[in-house]
Chain A
């Protein structure tokens, strides 16, 4: 189903391209040894190079290049064995050198692709979004306007931090696709470990290019909305910008090629500067740096160091582990979730002496419906879960070997969240071990059947839906400790 904007004069298509700036996860900056940690006191992570002192020279940090190459390989991109750094010249107080070292003419990574699932409800419908290039460049510093009544201060901690700019092709045609692309890209970067993906800390941000056109017509004039820092805001930007452009065009106006800003409070965009004010950046090769030449061995080392990536993992979860497409999608979307799930799976399988494939579904279901729900209720997420994967594995094993019932497991989980105790301890303390004592179950069933003679009659007359009622009543009478399979067996026999 394609996204269309219903204008007063008919339907419009929207065309979207994203330029994603991702901070490379390294200890040191791109061209200096200064640290890169977020949240440090202003101007405490600044070297002589970052402050552009006279006579200082950039020296490339090899780790940044390794991460850029690994990222390129993770999206099946062309790795350019020969690339070069250029200077992008402009004056601003947060740019000490008066130029940003970037890669215009010869980026390190060429064309690649990212597969997205634009609609969660249709996990089988995917689309491939082309990536034009990835280049490596320096970040700028930060201006602080709220420190002094008449002056602005400059914090150079970010100055020189390494960024990857990942430029997509204009292949997206709806807010959902743009959102899915950014989320997928973030997922891949986090798997690779080349960027922490913390959008609220500015580690990842997107410039959103939007244009609209009538079906079949050439591309319209685009606007670029800068520094949008969440998946939701990217979708909102596309939505607002597309309908704004349609309004302008239908009113007989023209779209101006310009840079715009997104306002998260109002969900709108506003003009920042038009093309006429655009800088002439006077790009030219940085004479302080030699061309960057990569060996085949280096590229192969980067390739060998890649982890299993989300698409491959999702396919494996569906195939080898037999998970539903939905669960596979949820569990692989984030590297940390997948890692947590795999710990859980290994632990659960080991405790039960079974193959992972035999316990995977139960583990996936428990994680996606039980644990996620419970954590959510407590305002927590997997990253700060009080329950470890090992404890989860123990709980699953207790269910798996029949020690406790599924409903008792829910109670145990609640207690685990409250107390942080191990599930075995809780089961013991609360007396939640389920009973497989046929005599006790039969006694309970007899009592229920006797007390509900009318319903027994109705059931026998063909109202089979009442079976669940008898199960429920029996379990209730046994305080949830009856082995559900045995309860079923006994009920069937007695009815």
Chain B
């Protein structure tokens, strides 16, 4: 039944609904694929085959009873281990939450189960979603199913949603949830030849998602293609009174609204992103994208986003500042790890617990965040960063007076070899240079595959749209997808 695992959301849903196969068969096939691949790829922190089978059995029973099936009926997915799942360990890939089993289900995961999806397991990620390579996980790095032509060196699946990207690319999950704070859906999607969308900030409830940087965190979909992203995002999004930053807007029927006819659409190409020394393959992919969008009827417009060169610096002040506060609750008092040395007082317990529980990258960002919020530095860093963030948003507002979507590469290169950048945090942070600006402005944005580089590794193109215009982004993505003809898959070596 290996061919069942080649199917994405729409194909599985339609096949189950049409009686070509049962949801239980699909879940079984994916469970087997996970069991086989996970010891090698390490995409899942825990697997939950029973959850997938139970959801499938419900769908099969509903179909037999002639009941209406949900938009993800019978689709086994992976759940990034940043979403709280009731009764299933939820760790944020951190030792500090090892063994933590929530008594509650995140809004987004609940919506997916309500839509008929089942869970194959909890997907690995960079610890607390901090990282671009998945190497900061306390449960081991994820190995990308992709290898450069003629090489066996393990490569990164990107981060922080690296378990998600690896699982979808390796066809051991039909789709996966991701979360994106500065590029954590889009960059891993680009690195693994899949599609990933981060909606407008506020589209998906953050309730039950372990917080990294609250003003930036957004859940999104990672899947084989644009259509699957549209279906899955439609099931995830919607107003939630439990999240004060949730958008109280109806969720458009994105999947039904998909069209690659871009006549009348204007696509902006920001000149500042044509950086010196841009990887030639990445530059070529970008040029191809421009040509495909033209072919779909769009008009290409040269635009300027003058403040985006400060985006990365701004992000690495705001995100750590919020993180330093958001992660204060992991103190050893109520849940998770507690390290209580003999004779220790409260302060000693905090210090020991947090020293033992957090990884290096998490500690680094807590320290940066604590520093930029400190008396005497607050205005120079945090206040200034907020001002620059407003200017970056204004750049986009101005640009969207001229154009409808903005096309750039997703990442400056293809996936790198694991360990290559782990000694240099700044080099690592540069991975997000193209994705961070849209995060700071809260814009819907996605990555779609555009081809392979000369090493045989996938590259992605990045589309950003106006607030609430996921449809515009998805349609432009669909136009690229149909013209890029990207069908490459990693050869199975595991």
**Smallest Cβ distance from B246 to chain A, in angstroms?**
9
* Inter-subunit contact A55/B208 (CB<8 Å): yes
CB neighbors of B among A149-166 (8 A)? 152, 154
* Inter-subunit contact A290/B245 (CB<8 Å): yes
Q: Does A282 make an interface contact (CB < 8 A)? A: yes
Residues on the B chain within 8 Å of A288, using CB: 211, 214, 244-245
A–B complex contacts, Cβ < 8 Å, 23 sampled? A51-B334, A53-B335, A54-B90, A54-B100, A54-B329, A55-B84, A57-B242, A57-B243, A57-B244, A58-B244, A87-B325, A89-B324, A91-B347, A98-B325, A98-B331, A280-B375, A282-B324, A282-B378, A284-B382, A287-B214, A287-B245, A288-B211, A290-B245
Residues on the B chain within 8 Å of A60, using CB: 244
Q: Does A97 make an interface contact (CB < 8 A)? A: yes
**Smallest Cβ distance from B109 to chain A, in angstroms?**
11
- A57-B206, A91-B350 given. 8 additional CB < 8 A pairs? A53-B334, A53-B335, A54-B329, A99-B325, A154-B333, A282-B373, A282-B378, A290-B244
A57-B207 contact, Cβ under 8 Å, with A97-B328, A287-B213: yes
* Inter-subunit contact B370/A282 (CB<8 Å): yes
* Inter-subunit contact A52/B334 (CB<8 Å): yes
Q: Does A249 make an interface contact (CB < 8 A)? A: no
Q: Does A96 make an interface contact (CB < 8 A)? A: yes
Residues on the B chain within 8 Å of A59, using CB: 241-244
Chain B residue with the shortest CB-CB distance to A154? B333
Interface residue total, chain A, C-beta cutoff 8 A: 30
Residues on the A chain within 8 Å of B392, using CB: none
Q: Which B residues have a C-beta under 8 Å from some C-beta of A?
A: 83-84, 90, 92, 97, 100, 102-104, 106, 206-211, 213-215, 241-245, 321-322, 324-325, 327-329, 331, 333-335, 346-347, 350, 370, 373-375, 378, 382
Residues on the B chain within 8 Å of A96, using CB: 329, 333-334
Chain A residue with the shortest CB-CB distance to B202? A290
Partner of A287, one of B207, B322, B333: B322
State in angstroms the CA–CA spacing of A471 and B270 once bound together.
106
Residues on the B chain within 8 Å of A87, using CB: 325
**Smallest Cβ distance from A201 to chain B, in angstroms?**
25
Closest 3 CB pairs of A and B: A98-B328, A282-B373, A287-B214
**Smallest Cβ distance from A467 to chain B, in angstroms?**
78
Partner of B328, one of A58, A89, A290: A89
* Inter-subunit contact B90/A89 (CB<8 Å): no
Chain A residue with the shortest CB-CB distance to B83? A55
* Inter-subunit contact A55/B214 (CB<8 Å): no
Residues on the A chain within 8 Å of B322, using CB: 287
Chain A residue with the shortest CB-CB distance to B336? A54
**Smallest Cβ distance from A94 to chain B, in angstroms?**
9
* Inter-subunit contact A93/B333 (CB<8 Å): yes
* Inter-subunit contact B329/A98 (CB<8 Å): yes
Q: Does A56 make an interface contact (CB < 8 A)? A: yes
* Inter-subunit contact B333/A89 (CB<8 Å): no
State in angstroms the CA–CA spacing of A315 and B214 once bound together.
52
* Inter-subunit contact B329/A282 (CB<8 Å): no
Q: Does A128 make an interface contact (CB < 8 A)? A: no
State in angstroms the CA–CA spacing of A48 and B211 once bound together.
15
Chain A residue with the shortest CB-CB distance to B207? A57
Residues on the B chain within 8 Å of A287, using CB: 213-215, 245, 322
* Inter-subunit contact A53/B244 (CB<8 Å): no
Residues on the A chain within 8 Å of B375, using CB: 280, 282
A56-B207 contact, Cβ under 8 Å, with A98-B325, A288-B214: yes
**Smallest Cβ distance from B202 to chain A, in angstroms?**
10
Residues on the B chain within 8 Å of A290, using CB: 244-245
Chain A residue with the shortest CB-CB distance to B329? A52
State in angstroms the CA–CA spacing of A91 and B366 once bound together.
14
State in angstroms the CA–CA spacing of A93 and B348 once bound together.
12
- Residue from A53, A60, A87 whose CB has the most chain B CB atoms within 10 Å: A53
**Smallest Cβ distance from B403 to chain A, in angstroms?**
29
Chain B residue with the shortest CB-CB distance to A51? B334
State in angstroms the CA–CA spacing of A289 and B325 once bound together.
14
Residues on the B chain within 8 Å of A48, using CB: 103-104
**Smallest Cβ distance from A138 to chain B, in angstroms?**
14
* Inter-subunit contact A97/B244 (CB<8 Å): no
Chain A residue with the shortest CB-CB distance to B386? A285
- Residue from B106, B242, B321, B327 whose CB has the most chain A CB atoms within 10 Å: B242
State in angstroms the CA–CA spacing of A87 and B321 once bound together.
11
Chain B residue with the shortest CB-CB distance to A279? B375
State in angstroms the CA–CA spacing of A97 and B329 once bound together.
5
- Residue from B106, B211, B333, B373 whose CB has the most chain A CB atoms within 10 Å: B333
